Amino acid sequence: MNSGQKMNKTRERKRKSVGCDMRGMLSFMILWLLSKRPMYGQELALEIGKRKGEKPNPGTIYPALKELTSRGLIEVRSDGRRTIYELTKEGSATVSRAQKYFVRAYKDIITTTGTRTSIHIGSR
């Protein structure tokens, strides 16, 4: 096994242990939003846009939703013309692990000079 293959295996192990791909943060944001309540795709995109300052396009968000569904982290149900996404039990456990990872990894970045930032871990 070459060094590139070893790095890929290490990345994959870390991704599985955290539960979502923290590189792009989209999976984390989707899981976190769905931990609050079930939502449909456009609603997720709007909520992400509020936080990110830019709404993700359908070519970005729907493949992420499909991936999270295939991994058993979210489930899909129809409500008339809308497709509703909600967390599974595994998805809830995953978002909890991902939040803890996020705090460990980015705590120093989140805390800004002169401002105290509190971070809530766990679902409400």
What are the domain boundaries of the chain?
Answer: 19-107
Say if residue 19's pLDDT is above 70.
no
Measured CA to CA, the distance from residue 47 to residue 80 in angstroms comes to 21
pTM of the model: 0.70
Q: Does domain 19-107 have CATH number 1.20.1090.10?
A: no
Residue 22: pLDDT band (50, 70, 90) is very low
Residue 2: pLDDT band (50, 70, 90) is low
Average pLDDT over residues 10-29: 60
Among residues 76, 98, 71, 99, which one has the least CA distance to residue 86? Answer: 76
Mean pLDDT of the chain: 80
CA angle 83, 84, 86 (to 5 degrees): 145
